[in-house]
Amino acid sequence: MIWSALKLSLLVVSIATLVISVAGTALGYLFAKHAFRGKDILDALCTLPMVLPPTVTGYYLILLLGRRGLIGKPLFLLTGWSVAFTWIAAVIATTAVALPLMIKSARAAIESIDADYEIASRLMGKSELETFFRITLPLAGRGILAGIVLSFARAFGEFGATLMLAGNIPGRTQTMPLAIYEAVIAGQDEQAKWMALILTGISVTVVYLTNRLSRPKERR
Amino acid sequence: MLDAWIRKQLGSGGAHVLTIDVRVRVTGGITVLFGSSGAGKTSILRAIAGIVRPDEGRITLDEKVYFDSSAGISLPMQQRKLGYVFQSHMLFPHMTAEQNVLYGTNSDSRHFARERVRALFEMLAIQNTVARYPHELSGGEQQRVALARALATEPVLMLLDEPLSAVDVATRSRLLEEISAIQQKSGIPFLYVTHNPSEAVRLGNHMIVIDAGRIVQEGSPLEIFNAPKTAPAARVVGTENVFVGKILRHQSEDGTTVVDTGSCLIELPYNGMPIGSQVTVGLRSEDIIVSREHLTQTSARNVLAGKIRSVITDVDKVEIVADCGIDFKVSVTRAAVRHLHLEVGSDVYLLIKARALHVLA
Amino acid sequence: MLWKRVIVLVFLSAFISAGYCPAAQKGGEILVSAAISLKEAFEEVSSICEKQTGIQVRFNFGASGLLQKQIETGAPVDVFASAGEKQMDDLQAKGLIISETRRNFAGNTLVLIVPAQPKITLRSFSDLPRPEIGRVAIGSPKTVPAGQYAEEALRNLKLWDALQPRLVLAENVRQVLDYVTRGEVDAGIVYASDMAGAHGEAAIAAYAPKGSYSPIQYPIAVIKETGNRADAQRFIDLIISSTGQAVLKKYGFVSSR
C-alpha cells in the first residue's frame, strides 16, 4: 500500500508541478503584461480553486469531466473513455488546486520587475518572446521558483479534489494523502504513521534543497 | 531626419492633466529637448520610441513611417531601430557590461559583433568594465556602458533621457565632452532630453524648449537662454544667463581667472581649471547692474559696453536683453528703467561682479 | 506553433494511458466502491475472489455519501456497497443501480464503549445521564450513519435530551474511537464492527438494547452503467455466500436480518 501510494504521488505531483510551472508562469505573464477583454473574469476564475474548499473544486471538476459532464459526456460518447478515476484525473485535480498559487506568485514576480528593462530589450530589436526568456524570466526567477515550490507543496498534500475526481483506488489513483486518510479511518495506525513520515520527509527535503540551490551567488 | 507630430493627453481627469501637442524635427547633430520636470519631455521621447502611443499624430524617420494615427499605423518598438539611453541606465543586472552591450547586436556574425563591441568599449574608455556587473560599476561607468549598449544596435537615431542627471558633477563635465565627440564621430543624430542649462548649452546644436506640453521656442541654446523671445520661454530658461568660454589665464595673486567667451573677456573668481579647458558660466539676471556711464571706481571687475536689444515690462520687474558681444538678460525695476530712460537701442554699460559669475558643470 | 504541439502531445499521452490503465470494462476486473468500514473485510473477500474466480477486484474506499455522489456524476464503478440504506435508496430512485441485484449483505449492532481503563464504570446505556459522566462522543448524525443510529437509539431510550449538551460530534467513527481511547471523552457509541480492530484501546461497556434502533443494514448492488455485470454479480454472490459472511463475522459484522 505504501509503495504504490508513494509511486503514484511522485508521478502525479511531478507531472502536475511541470504543468503548473509552465502554465502558471505563462498565465502570470499574461496577467502582468497584457490587458484584454474578460481579463478580470479570467482572473477570478483562476483564483476560484484557491478560495473554494478542495472538495467543491473536485465536485466542479467531476461535473465537467465525469461521464455525464459537460466535457466528459461528448468525450465518452466519442471515445468510450472517461478521465474520471484515472491517474490523469489525479493530475488534473492536483493541477487545478495548485495552479492559482503559481499564477499569483509568477504574476507578482514579473510585475516587480521594472518595465523599463523589458522596454530596453524591445527597443534593441528583440521580440516579446525573446525578451521574456532572456530578460523577464531570469530577473523574475527567484519569485517564480518560490511559486513552484509553493505549488509543489500544495500538490503533494492535495486530497479533497483528487478524492472526488480520481477516487481512492489503491494502485491506480490512491496518492499518499488519500492512503494516509484511509489508513487512519480503517485504524491502521502503523501504516498511517510511516506514510506521514515519508510524506513529511520528502516535502522537507525538496523545499530545503530548492532553497539551497536558489541561494544568491556570493557577492564579491 | 525625424519629423514627429505628437498629440497626447496624459493623466485622467483631476488636476494633473497634461496635453502634449508638439512637432519635433531633428536633422543632425545634437538636438536638445529642454524644459522643467513635468513639462512632457520624457513623454515625447517615449512616444517617438514607441513605448507609449500618441492619441493622434504622425511620426516619420527619413522615409519610414513609424506612426500614423489616421492610417492606423504604429510600428512596434523592436522595429524602430532607435537607440535609447534611460535616465537610470537600465543595464541588465544579470549580465556583465560586455554581455549587456552585445545583447543588442545581431549575431549574424559573432566575430564582427564582438569586434564592434570592443571598439565601442575603447571609444568610451570603459575597457576595464567588460567582465563586471552593473552593480559593481560607478555611475559614470554605468552610463557609458548604457551609451555603448544603445550605440551597439547601430541605430538611425539616438534618444537620451536625462542620462547625466544621476551622475556627479565632476564626471558630468567629462561625459558631456565625450557625448559630443561620440555624436560627431558616429554621425547619428541625437535627441537629448534635459532640464540642465549647462548640458543644453554645451551639447546642443539646436534646442527645443518645452513648457506644459508645448514648444515655446526653438533655436540656438545660447540665444534662447540669454534672449528668450516669449514670457513662457523666459520662465522655462529661468533667470540664469548661460554662456560657454575657454579658460584664458589665471591671476592667482588677484584671486581671479579670465575666461574668453569668443566675443568678450570675463573675469571670474579664481578656479584651478586647466588653461584652455572649456567652461560653462552662469550669471543671474538680477545680479547685473546697468549704468549709462562707464564707471571704473567700483568693485565690479567686469564693465561691458553694449546696446539694449529688447525691453519686456512685467508687473514687478523689467527684463532687458543687452548685446555686449554676447547677449545678457538683465532684470531691473521699472523705476530704474524710468530713471535711466532705458529703451531699445540705448547704449549701456553692464557692471558684473566677478563673484556673481559661477561655474556650471 | 509550440502550443499546438503540446496539445497533441497531451491528447496522445491521455489515450496511451487509457490503454495502459485498463478501464473496468475489460473482462476480469471490477471496481467496487465501498464504505471504509468494510475495508478489511472486503479486502479479504477480494483475495478469495481472485483465487476462486480469477476476477481482479479494485477498491475505491470512501465515505458512503461521497461514493454516492461519485456514482451520480458518472464514476465508472461496477459495484456499490454502502454503510447506510439512504445512499443506496437515493441511487435506486435515480435509476442508477440494477434493482434486482440489490441485497442486504450484513448488519451491525450499536455498542457503548469506554476507555480501556475507565474512570467510571458503565454497565448500560441508561447509566449515561449520570452526572459523573462528562462528554460522550458519537458520529455526527448529519453525515455519519453510525451517528444517525446512535441518535435514534438515544431518542428511543429517552436519553437524547439529557445527553445533548454533553455530546461531542465526530466526523467519522475513527474519531469517536480516538476520543474514547485518549480519554478525551468518557464514553462513545460506535458499531460492534468498529471494535473488531481496536486492540485493547477501548472496551465495549454495553450493547444497545434490541429495538431501540432500526436494523442497521448494509446494502450492495450492481451499478447500472457497469461494463462487466457478470463479474460484478459474482462478487456480490461471494459476499453473500457463507464464505463471505464468515469473513464479515470475523470483523464484527452480524448477518443481515
The set of cell numbers assigned to B74 is 504604429
Helix (H, G, I), strand (E, B) or coil at C210: coil
B81–A contact, CB cutoff 8 A: yes
- Tell me if ipTM is over 0.90: no
Residue from B43, B52, B77 to probe the interface with A (highest A Cβ count within 10 Å)? B77
Model confidence pLDDT, tens digit, residues A123-144: 999 999 999 999 999 999 989 9
The count of residues in chain B is 361
Position B107 confidence tier, pLDDT thresholds 50, 70, 90: low
The domains found in chain A, sorted by start residue, are: 2-214 (1.10.3720.10)
Interface of C with A in 34-93 (CB under 8 A): 36-37, 39-40, 58-62, 66, 69-70, 73-77
Q: Please answer yes or no on whether C76 and A67 come within 8 Å at the CB atom.
A: yes
* Average pLDDT score over residue span B163-192: 88
Q: Please answer yes or no on whether A169 and C177 come within 8 Å at the CB atom.
A: no
Round the average pLDDT of chain C to a whole number and report it. Answer: 85
Model confidence pLDDT, tens digit, residues C129-183: 888 888 999 998 887 888 889 999 999 999 899 888 889 999 888 889 889 988 8
A197–B contact, CB cutoff 8 A: no
Question: Could you tell me if A178 and A163 are in contact, meaning their C-beta atoms sit under 8 angstroms apart?
Answer: yes
Backbone φ, ψ for residue B284 (5° rounding): -80, 140
A69 neighbourhood in chain C, CB within 8 Å: 73-74
CB-neighbour burial class of residue B57 (10 A; exposed 0-12, middle 13-18, buried 19+): buried
Position C25 confidence tier, pLDDT thresholds 50, 70, 90: very low
CB-neighbour burial class of residue A30 (10 A; exposed 0-12, middle 13-18, buried 19+): middle
Under an 8 Å CB criterion, which residues of A touch C? 59, 62-63, 66-69, 72-73, 76, 79-88, 163-164, 167-172, 182, 184-187
Q: Please answer yes or no on whether A187 and C174 come within 8 Å at the CB atom.
A: yes
B132–A contact, CB cutoff 8 A: no
pTM of the model: 0.77
Q: Please answer yes or no on whether A119 and B81 come within 8 Å at the CB atom.
A: no
Question: Could you tell me if B41 and B210 are in contact, meaning their C-beta atoms sit under 8 angstroms apart?
Answer: yes
Of the candidates C18, C61, C73, the beta carbon closest to that of A81 is on C18
Position B124 confidence tier, pLDDT thresholds 50, 70, 90: confident
C-alpha span between C66 and A77 (Å, rounded): 25
Question: Could you tell me if B68 and B5 are in contact, meaning their C-beta atoms sit under 8 angstroms apart?
Answer: no
C-alpha span between B351 and B267 (Å, rounded): 12
Of the candidates A123, A135, A220, the beta carbon closest to that of B77 is on A123
Between chain A and chain B, the number of residue pairs with CB atoms below 8 A apart is: 48
Q: How far is A25 from chain C (nearest CA, A)?
A: 14
Residue from A70, A169, A180, A185 to probe the interface with C (highest C Cβ count within 10 Å)? A185
Position A155 confidence tier, pLDDT thresholds 50, 70, 90: very high
C14 neighbourhood in chain A, CB within 8 Å: 83, 88
Give A62-127 as a DSSP string.
HHHHSTTSTTHHHHHHHHS---TTSHHHHHHHHHHHHHHHHHHHHHHHHHTS-HHHHHHHHHTT--
Backbone φ, ψ for residue B178 (5° rounding): -65, -40
Q: Please answer yes or no on whether A125 and B106 come within 8 Å at the CB atom.
A: yes
Q: Please answer yes or no on whether B84 and A123 come within 8 Å at the CB atom.
A: yes
B58–A contact, CB cutoff 8 A: no
Q: Please answer yes or no on whether A172 and C14 come within 8 Å at the CB atom.
A: no
Edge-to-edge strands, sheet with B318-323: B288-291, B347-352, B302-313, B318-323, B327-332
Of the candidates A66, A76, A168, the beta carbon closest to that of C73 is on A66
Question: Could you tell me if A24 and A147 are in contact, meaning their C-beta atoms sit under 8 angstroms apart?
Answer: yes
Position B14 confidence tier, pLDDT thresholds 50, 70, 90: low
In the numeric block, the cell 506521514 is attached to A196
Question: Could you tell me if A84 and A163 are in contact, meaning their C-beta atoms sit under 8 angstroms apart?
Answer: no
Q: Please answer yes or no on whether A88 and C225 come within 8 Å at the CB atom.
A: no
In the numeric block, the cell 437524547 is attached to C160
Note the pLDDT of residue A203.
Answer: 85
Question: Could you tell me if C176 and C37 are in contact, meaning their C-beta atoms sit under 8 angstroms apart?
Answer: no
CA triple C35-C47-C102, angle to 5 deg: 45
C-alpha span between C218 and C220 (Å, rounded): 7
pLDDT above 70: percentage of residues in chain B: 98
C172 neighbourhood in chain A, CB within 8 Å: 185
Question: Could you tell me if B257 and B267 are in contact, meaning their C-beta atoms sit under 8 angstroms apart?
Answer: yes
Residue from B46, B48, B103, B162 to probe the interface with A (highest A Cβ count within 10 Å)? B103
Model confidence pLDDT, tens digit, residues B47-97: 999 999 999 999 999 889 999 999 999 999 999 999 999 998 999 999 999
Question: Could you tell me if C207 and C196 are in contact, meaning their C-beta atoms sit under 8 angstroms apart?
Answer: no
Position B169 confidence tier, pLDDT thresholds 50, 70, 90: confident
Model confidence pLDDT, tens digit, residues A167-177: 888 888 999 99
Of the candidates A119, A125, A138, the beta carbon closest to that of B94 is on A138
B40: part of which helix (H) or strand (E)?
none
Residue from B48, B61, B85, B90 to probe the interface with A (highest A Cβ count within 10 Å)? B90
| pLDDT beyond 80 at B321 | yes
Chain C neighbours (≥3 Cβ pairs under 8 A) are A
Note the pLDDT of residue C24.
Answer: 41
Of the candidates A124, A127, A220, the beta carbon closest to that of B103 is on A124
C-alpha span between C253 and C256 (Å, rounded): 9
Note the pLDDT of residue C5.
Answer: 60
Question: Could you tell me if B127 and B135 are in contact, meaning their C-beta atoms sit under 8 angstroms apart?
Answer: no
